[in-house]
Amino acid sequence: MAARVVVTGLGALSPLEAGVQKSWTSLLAGKSGITPISQLPDAASYTAHCPATCGVGKVSNFSPEEYGGLFSTQDLRRMSLFTQYATVAAREALEDAGLLHDRYYDKEKFGCVIGSGIASISDTFDTVGGFIQGKKVSPLFVPKILNNMAAGNLSIKFGLQGVTHCVSTACATGNNSIGDAYNFIRLGYSDSCLAGASEASVHPLALAGFLRAKSITTAGISRPFDSLRDGFVLAEGAGILVLENLEYAQRRGARIYAEIVGYGVTSDAYHITSPLEGGDGARRAMQMALGDHDPRSVGYVNAHATSTILGDRAEARAIRDVFNARNNRESDICVSSNKGAIGHLLGAAGAMEAIFTIKSLYHDTIPHTLNLNTVGGAKGDDETDFQGLNFVRDKPIARKMEYALNNSFGFGGVNSAILFKKWDEVEQVTK
Protein backbone atom coordinates (compact mmCIF):
# COMPACT_ATOMS: atom_id res chain seq x y z
CA MET A 1 0.00 0.00 0.00
CA ALA A 2 1.41 3.38 -1.00
CA ALA A 3 2.32 5.75 1.81
CA ARG A 4 0.35 8.95 2.38
CA VAL A 5 2.38 12.15 1.94
CA VAL A 6 1.98 15.38 3.89
CA VAL A 7 3.59 18.82 3.87
CA THR A 8 5.20 19.81 7.16
CA GLY A 9 7.55 22.69 6.27
CA LEU A 10 7.62 25.70 3.95
CA GLY A 11 10.44 28.02 2.89
CA ALA A 12 10.54 30.83 0.35
CA LEU A 13 12.57 33.68 -1.07
CA SER A 14 10.26 35.67 -3.34
CA PRO A 15 10.25 39.01 -5.18
CA LEU A 16 7.80 40.18 -2.52
CA GLU A 17 9.77 39.35 0.62
CA ALA A 18 12.22 36.92 2.17
CA GLY A 19 10.31 34.23 4.04
CA VAL A 20 6.97 32.49 3.62
CA GLN A 21 4.89 34.48 6.09
CA LYS A 22 6.06 37.89 4.90
CA SER A 23 5.54 36.88 1.27
CA TRP A 24 2.05 35.57 2.04
CA THR A 25 1.09 38.72 3.95
CA SER A 26 2.32 40.92 1.10
CA LEU A 27 0.44 38.82 -1.45
CA LEU A 28 -2.84 39.22 0.43
CA ALA A 29 -2.18 42.95 0.84
CA GLY A 30 -2.02 43.33 -2.94
CA LYS A 31 1.61 44.38 -2.99
CA SER A 32 3.74 43.96 -6.12
CA GLY A 33 7.27 42.58 -6.20
CA ILE A 34 7.88 43.84 -9.73
CA THR A 35 10.52 46.54 -10.27
CA PRO A 36 11.13 48.60 -13.44
CA ILE A 37 14.53 47.71 -14.90
CA SER A 38 15.32 51.44 -14.95
CA GLN A 39 15.39 51.34 -11.13
CA LEU A 40 17.85 48.44 -10.84
CA PRO A 41 21.40 49.23 -9.63
CA ASP A 42 22.77 47.84 -12.93
CA ALA A 43 20.03 49.40 -15.05
CA ALA A 44 22.38 50.33 -17.90
CA SER A 45 23.21 46.67 -18.59
CA TYR A 46 19.48 45.98 -19.07
CA THR A 47 18.39 49.09 -20.95
CA ALA A 48 21.23 48.68 -23.45
CA HIS A 49 19.39 45.64 -24.85
CA CYS A 50 15.81 45.87 -23.54
CA PRO A 51 13.09 48.56 -23.53
CA ALA A 52 13.30 50.69 -20.40
CA THR A 53 9.60 49.99 -19.81
CA CYS A 54 10.28 46.33 -18.93
CA GLY A 55 9.98 45.15 -15.35
CA VAL A 56 11.42 42.21 -13.39
CA GLY A 57 10.59 40.39 -10.18
CA LYS A 58 14.01 40.41 -8.55
CA VAL A 59 14.99 39.15 -5.11
CA SER A 60 16.13 42.56 -3.93
CA ASN A 61 18.91 43.37 -1.50
CA PHE A 62 19.90 39.71 -1.11
CA SER A 63 22.97 39.36 1.05
CA PRO A 64 24.07 35.86 2.11
CA GLU A 65 26.03 37.37 5.00
CA GLU A 66 22.73 38.26 6.66
CA TYR A 67 21.74 34.64 7.16
CA GLY A 68 23.48 33.92 10.43
CA GLY A 69 26.49 31.89 9.36
CA LEU A 70 24.50 29.76 6.93
CA PHE A 71 27.20 30.26 4.29
CA SER A 72 30.91 29.70 4.79
CA THR A 73 33.51 31.49 2.68
CA GLN A 74 33.94 28.24 0.76
CA ASP A 75 30.17 28.02 0.18
CA LEU A 76 30.10 31.46 -1.37
CA ARG A 77 32.94 30.53 -3.72
CA ARG A 78 31.26 27.34 -4.84
CA MET A 79 27.58 28.21 -4.86
CA SER A 80 25.87 30.06 -7.69
CA LEU A 81 23.13 32.51 -6.78
CA PHE A 82 20.31 30.04 -7.49
CA THR A 83 21.92 27.58 -5.06
CA GLN A 84 22.24 30.30 -2.42
CA TYR A 85 18.54 31.12 -2.85
CA ALA A 86 17.66 27.43 -2.47
CA THR A 87 19.80 27.13 0.65
CA VAL A 88 18.02 30.03 2.37
CA ALA A 89 14.57 28.65 1.51
CA ALA A 90 15.55 25.10 2.51
CA ARG A 91 16.76 26.19 5.93
CA GLU A 92 13.49 28.01 6.53
CA ALA A 93 11.50 24.92 5.45
CA LEU A 94 13.50 22.58 7.69
CA GLU A 95 13.21 24.95 10.63
CA ASP A 96 9.48 25.33 9.99
CA ALA A 97 9.11 21.55 10.02
CA GLY A 98 11.10 21.24 13.26
CA LEU A 99 13.83 19.27 11.51
CA LEU A 100 16.70 21.74 11.25
CA HIS A 101 18.41 20.49 14.41
CA ASP A 102 16.46 17.26 14.82
CA ARG A 103 18.51 14.13 14.28
CA TYR A 104 15.51 11.85 14.90
CA TYR A 105 15.07 11.38 11.18
CA ASP A 106 16.91 8.71 9.22
CA LYS A 107 19.33 10.71 7.07
CA GLU A 108 19.59 7.79 4.63
CA LYS A 109 15.85 8.07 3.94
CA PHE A 110 15.74 11.86 3.69
CA GLY A 111 15.76 12.91 0.05
CA CYS A 112 16.40 16.17 -1.78
CA VAL A 113 14.52 16.93 -5.01
CA ILE A 114 15.39 20.46 -6.12
CA GLY A 115 15.15 21.69 -9.70
CA SER A 116 15.95 24.75 -11.76
CA GLY A 117 14.95 25.92 -15.21
CA ILE A 118 18.08 27.69 -16.44
CA ALA A 119 20.32 27.47 -13.35
CA SER A 120 23.10 30.07 -13.40
CA ILE A 121 22.89 32.19 -16.53
CA SER A 122 25.04 34.89 -14.91
CA ASP A 123 27.99 32.52 -14.33
CA THR A 124 27.79 31.33 -17.92
CA PHE A 125 27.59 34.89 -19.24
CA ASP A 126 30.51 36.13 -17.15
CA THR A 127 32.72 33.13 -17.96
CA VAL A 128 32.09 33.34 -21.70
CA GLY A 129 32.91 37.06 -21.62
CA GLY A 130 36.19 36.39 -19.85
CA PHE A 131 37.00 33.42 -22.09
CA ILE A 132 36.66 35.59 -25.20
CA GLN A 133 39.10 38.04 -23.62
CA GLY A 134 41.60 35.23 -23.00
CA LYS A 135 41.03 34.82 -19.27
CA LYS A 136 41.38 31.44 -17.59
CA VAL A 137 38.18 29.51 -16.86
CA SER A 138 37.54 28.88 -13.17
CA PRO A 139 37.69 25.22 -12.05
CA LEU A 140 34.36 25.92 -10.32
CA PHE A 141 32.66 27.02 -13.54
CA VAL A 142 31.09 23.69 -14.47
CA PRO A 143 29.96 22.76 -10.94
CA LYS A 144 28.35 26.19 -10.53
CA ILE A 145 26.22 26.00 -13.69
CA LEU A 146 24.91 22.44 -13.35
CA ASN A 147 21.15 22.36 -12.65
CA ASN A 148 21.53 19.65 -10.00
CA MET A 149 23.94 21.66 -7.86
CA ALA A 150 21.21 23.12 -5.68
CA ALA A 151 20.10 19.60 -4.78
CA GLY A 152 23.69 18.44 -4.36
CA ASN A 153 24.73 21.35 -2.16
CA LEU A 154 21.62 21.10 0.01
CA SER A 155 22.24 17.38 0.54
CA ILE A 156 25.78 18.18 1.69
CA LYS A 157 24.78 21.21 3.79
CA PHE A 158 22.04 19.40 5.73
CA GLY A 159 23.42 15.83 5.67
CA LEU A 160 20.64 14.33 3.55
CA GLN A 161 21.79 10.95 2.20
CA GLY A 162 18.62 9.75 0.53
CA VAL A 163 17.44 10.28 -3.04
CA THR A 164 19.12 13.31 -4.60
CA HIS A 165 17.34 14.32 -7.76
CA CYS A 166 17.06 17.32 -10.06
CA VAL A 167 14.14 18.16 -12.31
CA SER A 168 14.44 20.63 -15.20
CA THR A 169 11.18 20.92 -17.10
CA ALA A 170 11.21 24.64 -17.86
CA CYS A 171 8.40 26.45 -16.05
CA ALA A 172 6.86 23.22 -14.73
CA THR A 173 10.04 22.37 -12.80
CA GLY A 174 8.79 23.30 -9.31
CA ASN A 175 5.59 21.29 -9.59
CA ASN A 176 7.39 18.32 -11.14
CA SER A 177 9.97 18.38 -8.33
CA ILE A 178 7.22 18.22 -5.72
CA GLY A 179 5.44 15.52 -7.72
CA ASP A 180 8.58 13.38 -8.00
CA ALA A 181 9.30 13.74 -4.27
CA TYR A 182 5.69 12.78 -3.56
CA ASN A 183 6.14 9.60 -5.56
CA PHE A 184 9.52 8.78 -3.95
CA ILE A 185 7.83 8.85 -0.54
CA ARG A 186 4.70 7.00 -1.69
CA LEU A 187 6.85 4.21 -3.12
CA GLY A 188 9.11 3.94 -0.05
CA TYR A 189 12.35 5.36 -1.49
CA SER A 190 12.23 8.12 1.12
CA ASP A 191 10.57 8.91 4.43
CA SER A 192 11.07 12.65 3.94
CA CYS A 193 12.13 15.00 1.17
CA LEU A 194 13.09 18.58 0.56
CA ALA A 195 11.23 19.42 -2.64
CA GLY A 196 10.99 22.51 -4.80
CA ALA A 197 12.98 24.71 -7.14
CA SER A 198 15.18 27.78 -7.34
CA GLU A 199 15.86 30.30 -10.08
CA ALA A 200 18.25 33.25 -10.38
CA SER A 201 17.12 34.20 -13.85
CA VAL A 202 16.88 38.00 -13.71
CA HIS A 203 19.73 38.92 -16.04
CA PRO A 204 19.96 41.12 -19.16
CA LEU A 205 20.69 38.13 -21.41
CA ALA A 206 17.68 36.17 -20.15
CA LEU A 207 15.39 39.17 -20.47
CA ALA A 208 16.62 39.88 -24.00
CA GLY A 209 16.14 36.23 -24.98
CA PHE A 210 12.57 36.07 -23.75
CA LEU A 211 11.85 39.38 -25.46
CA ARG A 212 13.05 37.92 -28.75
CA ALA A 213 10.79 34.91 -28.13
CA LYS A 214 7.91 37.39 -27.72
CA SER A 215 7.09 35.99 -24.28
CA ILE A 216 7.77 39.11 -22.19
CA THR A 217 5.58 42.16 -21.70
CA THR A 218 7.31 45.48 -22.32
CA ALA A 219 4.70 47.26 -20.18
CA GLY A 220 6.31 46.08 -16.93
CA ILE A 221 2.97 44.80 -15.60
CA SER A 222 1.78 41.19 -15.36
CA ARG A 223 -1.97 40.93 -16.08
CA PRO A 224 -3.11 37.29 -15.84
CA PHE A 225 -6.42 36.59 -17.61
CA ASP A 226 -6.90 40.30 -18.37
CA SER A 227 -7.94 41.82 -21.69
CA LEU A 228 -4.63 43.75 -21.78
CA ARG A 229 -2.38 40.78 -21.05
CA ASP A 230 0.57 40.68 -23.45
CA GLY A 231 3.33 38.60 -21.86
CA PHE A 232 4.95 37.69 -18.56
CA VAL A 233 7.31 39.55 -16.24
CA LEU A 234 10.62 37.74 -15.70
CA ALA A 235 11.19 36.93 -12.03
CA GLU A 236 13.30 34.82 -9.69
CA GLY A 237 13.33 33.23 -6.25
CA ALA A 238 13.07 29.88 -4.50
CA GLY A 239 10.30 27.79 -2.98
CA ILE A 240 11.11 24.69 -0.91
CA LEU A 241 8.73 22.30 0.88
CA VAL A 242 9.32 19.51 3.38
CA LEU A 243 7.31 16.43 2.44
CA GLU A 244 6.99 13.46 4.80
CA ASN A 245 5.45 10.05 5.06
CA LEU A 246 2.31 10.62 7.13
CA GLU A 247 3.15 7.91 9.66
CA TYR A 248 6.60 9.36 10.23
CA ALA A 249 5.25 12.91 10.57
CA GLN A 250 2.61 11.82 13.08
CA ARG A 251 5.09 9.73 15.04
CA ARG A 252 7.28 12.76 15.65
CA GLY A 253 4.29 15.05 16.33
CA ALA A 254 4.82 17.31 13.33
CA ARG A 255 2.50 20.17 12.46
CA ILE A 256 0.87 19.27 9.12
CA TYR A 257 -0.11 21.94 6.58
CA ALA A 258 -1.78 19.76 3.96
CA GLU A 259 -1.77 16.35 2.34
CA ILE A 260 -0.80 15.72 -1.28
CA VAL A 261 -3.44 13.43 -2.77
CA GLY A 262 -2.85 13.65 -6.51
CA TYR A 263 -0.29 14.49 -9.16
CA GLY A 264 -0.69 14.72 -12.91
CA VAL A 265 1.85 15.29 -15.69
CA THR A 266 1.26 15.20 -19.45
CA SER A 267 2.72 16.43 -22.72
CA ASP A 268 1.02 18.49 -25.40
CA ALA A 269 3.25 16.89 -28.06
CA TYR A 270 2.44 19.94 -30.13
CA HIS A 271 4.87 22.91 -30.04
CA ILE A 272 8.01 23.94 -28.16
CA THR A 273 6.53 27.15 -26.75
CA SER A 274 2.80 27.40 -27.58
CA PRO A 275 0.10 25.37 -25.80
CA LEU A 276 -2.68 23.47 -27.48
CA GLU A 277 -5.41 26.04 -28.11
CA GLY A 278 -8.08 24.00 -26.37
CA GLY A 279 -5.84 23.31 -23.37
CA ASP A 280 -6.11 19.53 -23.83
CA GLY A 281 -2.72 18.77 -22.22
CA ALA A 282 -3.49 20.94 -19.21
CA ARG A 283 -6.94 19.35 -18.92
CA ARG A 284 -5.49 15.85 -18.86
CA ALA A 285 -2.91 16.81 -16.23
CA MET A 286 -5.62 18.23 -13.96
CA GLN A 287 -7.82 15.17 -14.45
CA MET A 288 -4.87 12.89 -13.67
CA ALA A 289 -4.21 14.82 -10.44
CA LEU A 290 -7.89 14.64 -9.50
CA GLY A 291 -8.05 10.89 -10.04
CA ASP A 292 -11.21 9.60 -8.35
CA HIS A 293 -11.82 12.83 -6.44
CA ASP A 294 -15.01 14.70 -7.27
CA PRO A 295 -14.12 17.93 -9.12
CA ARG A 296 -16.91 19.63 -7.17
CA SER A 297 -14.91 19.14 -3.96
CA VAL A 298 -12.11 21.41 -5.25
CA GLY A 299 -12.54 24.98 -4.05
CA TYR A 300 -9.57 26.68 -5.70
CA VAL A 301 -7.29 26.43 -8.71
CA ASN A 302 -4.04 28.36 -8.43
CA ALA A 303 -3.55 28.88 -12.15
CA HIS A 304 -0.23 28.92 -13.98
CA ALA A 305 -1.55 31.95 -15.94
CA THR A 306 1.62 33.79 -16.87
CA SER A 307 -0.19 36.70 -18.57
CA THR A 308 0.33 35.54 -22.16
CA ILE A 309 -2.56 35.67 -24.60
CA LEU A 310 -2.40 32.03 -25.74
CA GLY A 311 -1.40 30.44 -22.43
CA ASP A 312 -4.02 32.07 -20.22
CA ARG A 313 -6.77 31.36 -22.73
CA ALA A 314 -5.83 27.69 -23.12
CA GLU A 315 -5.66 27.21 -19.35
CA ALA A 316 -9.04 28.89 -18.80
CA ARG A 317 -10.57 26.56 -21.39
CA ALA A 318 -8.99 23.55 -19.68
CA ILE A 319 -10.21 24.56 -16.20
CA ARG A 320 -13.67 25.22 -17.62
CA ASP A 321 -13.77 21.71 -19.12
CA VAL A 322 -12.44 19.92 -16.03
CA PHE A 323 -14.91 21.62 -13.71
CA ASN A 324 -17.82 21.69 -16.17
CA ALA A 325 -18.09 25.47 -15.91
CA ARG A 326 -20.21 26.50 -18.87
CA ASN A 327 -23.40 28.15 -20.09
CA ASN A 328 -22.83 31.57 -18.49
CA ARG A 329 -23.16 29.96 -15.07
CA GLU A 330 -20.57 30.94 -12.47
CA SER A 331 -19.28 27.69 -11.00
CA ASP A 332 -18.09 27.08 -7.47
CA ILE A 333 -14.47 26.84 -8.58
CA CYS A 334 -12.38 29.90 -7.69
CA VAL A 335 -9.40 30.75 -9.90
CA SER A 336 -6.53 33.18 -9.39
CA SER A 337 -2.90 33.63 -10.39
CA ASN A 338 -0.05 34.83 -8.19
CA LYS A 339 1.98 36.13 -11.13
CA GLY A 340 0.37 39.57 -11.12
CA ALA A 341 2.18 40.13 -7.81
CA ILE A 342 5.42 38.18 -8.19
CA GLY A 343 5.94 37.82 -11.95
CA HIS A 344 6.99 34.51 -13.47
CA LEU A 345 9.72 32.68 -11.55
CA LEU A 346 10.29 30.24 -14.44
CA GLY A 347 11.43 26.92 -12.91
CA ALA A 348 10.64 28.09 -9.38
CA ALA A 349 7.12 29.27 -10.22
CA GLY A 350 5.32 26.01 -9.41
CA ALA A 351 7.10 25.60 -6.08
CA MET A 352 6.38 29.16 -4.96
CA GLU A 353 2.76 28.89 -6.05
CA ALA A 354 2.39 25.49 -4.37
CA ILE A 355 3.34 27.21 -1.12
CA PHE A 356 0.70 29.89 -1.68
CA THR A 357 -1.85 27.18 -2.56
CA ILE A 358 -1.10 25.36 0.69
CA LYS A 359 -1.37 28.60 2.66
CA SER A 360 -4.75 29.21 0.99
CA LEU A 361 -6.02 25.84 2.21
CA TYR A 362 -4.49 26.23 5.65
CA HIS A 363 -5.99 29.69 6.24
CA ASP A 364 -9.22 29.28 4.19
CA THR A 365 -8.21 32.34 2.18
CA ILE A 366 -7.86 32.72 -1.58
CA PRO A 367 -5.51 35.47 -2.80
CA HIS A 368 -6.69 37.66 -5.64
CA THR A 369 -5.07 38.18 -9.03
CA LEU A 370 -3.32 41.52 -9.08
CA ASN A 371 -3.94 43.70 -12.18
CA LEU A 372 -6.99 41.72 -13.32
CA ASN A 373 -9.51 44.37 -14.31
CA THR A 374 -11.40 42.92 -17.30
CA VAL A 375 -11.52 39.13 -17.61
CA GLY A 376 -10.82 38.04 -21.19
CA GLY A 377 -11.22 40.14 -24.28
CA ALA A 378 -7.65 40.00 -25.61
CA LYS A 379 -7.05 39.39 -29.30
CA GLY A 380 -8.43 35.99 -30.26
CA ASP A 381 -10.42 35.42 -27.04
CA ASP A 382 -13.91 34.04 -27.47
CA GLU A 383 -16.60 35.34 -25.13
CA THR A 384 -17.14 31.78 -23.83
CA ASP A 385 -13.47 31.07 -23.02
CA PHE A 386 -13.61 32.51 -19.52
CA GLN A 387 -17.27 31.91 -18.72
CA GLY A 388 -18.33 29.91 -15.69
CA LEU A 389 -15.14 30.50 -13.70
CA ASN A 390 -15.07 32.53 -10.51
CA PHE A 391 -11.98 34.70 -11.02
CA VAL A 392 -10.85 36.18 -7.71
CA ARG A 393 -9.86 39.81 -8.20
CA ASP A 394 -9.77 43.12 -6.33
CA LYS A 395 -9.15 41.50 -2.95
CA PRO A 396 -8.68 38.08 -1.28
CA ILE A 397 -11.76 36.11 -0.31
CA ALA A 398 -12.43 33.86 2.67
CA ARG A 399 -13.56 30.38 1.72
CA LYS A 400 -13.72 27.01 3.46
CA MET A 401 -12.08 24.47 1.17
CA GLU A 402 -11.35 20.76 1.22
CA TYR A 403 -9.11 20.60 -1.85
CA ALA A 404 -7.02 23.01 -3.94
CA LEU A 405 -5.19 22.43 -7.22
CA ASN A 406 -1.91 23.99 -8.35
CA ASN A 407 -1.14 24.16 -12.09
CA SER A 408 2.24 24.64 -13.72
CA PHE A 409 3.15 24.36 -17.41
CA GLY A 410 6.41 24.69 -19.33
CA PHE A 411 8.06 25.14 -22.71
CA GLY A 412 8.33 21.85 -24.53
CA GLY A 413 4.66 21.17 -23.89
CA VAL A 414 4.89 19.83 -20.32
CA ASN A 415 1.79 20.19 -18.11
CA SER A 416 1.62 19.45 -14.39
CA ALA A 417 -0.96 19.67 -11.63
CA ILE A 418 -0.87 18.83 -7.92
CA LEU A 419 -3.93 18.28 -5.74
CA PHE A 420 -3.63 19.30 -2.08
CA LYS A 421 -6.13 18.30 0.63
CA LYS A 422 -6.79 20.38 3.73
CA TRP A 423 -5.48 18.67 6.83
CA ASP A 424 -8.14 18.18 9.49
CA GLU A 425 -6.53 16.83 12.64
CA VAL A 426 -9.85 15.92 14.27
CA GLU A 427 -11.05 14.05 11.19
CA GLN A 428 -7.77 12.13 10.91
CA VAL A 429 -7.77 11.10 14.56
CA THR A 430 -11.28 9.67 14.28
CA LYS A 431 -10.46 7.57 11.21
pLDDT digits 0-9 by tens, 187-231? 999 999 999 999 999 999 999 999 999 999 999 999 999 999 999
What's the average model confidence in pLDDT over 266-284?
A: 96
Quick one: pLDDT band at residue 424, thresholds 50, 70, 90?
confident
Q: 168 is in which domain, residue-wise? A: 5-251
Please report, for the domain that includes residue 278, its CATH number. Answer: 3.40.47.10
Q: Residues 180, 294: one domain?
A: no
Residue 429 lies in a domain: no
CA distances from 394 to 29, 313, 370, 374 (A): 10, 20, 7, 11
Residue 13 lies in a domain: yes
Distance in angstroms (rounded) separating the CA atoms of residues 354 and 12: 11
SS3 readout for 341-387: HHCECHHHHHHHHHHHHHHHHHHCEECCECCCCCECCCCCCCCCCCC
Q: Residues 209, 331: one domain?
A: no
Q: Residues 176, 216: one domain?
A: yes
Q: Residues 146, 27: one domain?
A: yes
Q: Residues 284, 322: one domain?
A: yes
Distance in angstroms (rounded) separating the CA atoms of residues 292 and 57: 38
Q: Residues 305, 334: one domain?
A: yes
Quick one: pLDDT band at residue 431, thresholds 50, 70, 90?
very low
* Residues forming the active site: 171
Q: Residues 72, 34: one domain?
A: yes
The answer, yes or no, to whether residue 283 has pLDDT greater than 60, is: yes
Q: Residues 15, 92: one domain?
A: yes
Q: Residues 63, 88: one domain?
A: yes
Q: Residues 31, 142: one domain?
A: yes
Residue at which a domain ends, from 201, 229, 251: 251
Residue 331 lies in a domain: yes
pTM value surpassing 0.85:
yes
Residue at which a domain ends, from 225, 251, 277: 251
Q: Residues 272, 247: one domain?
A: no
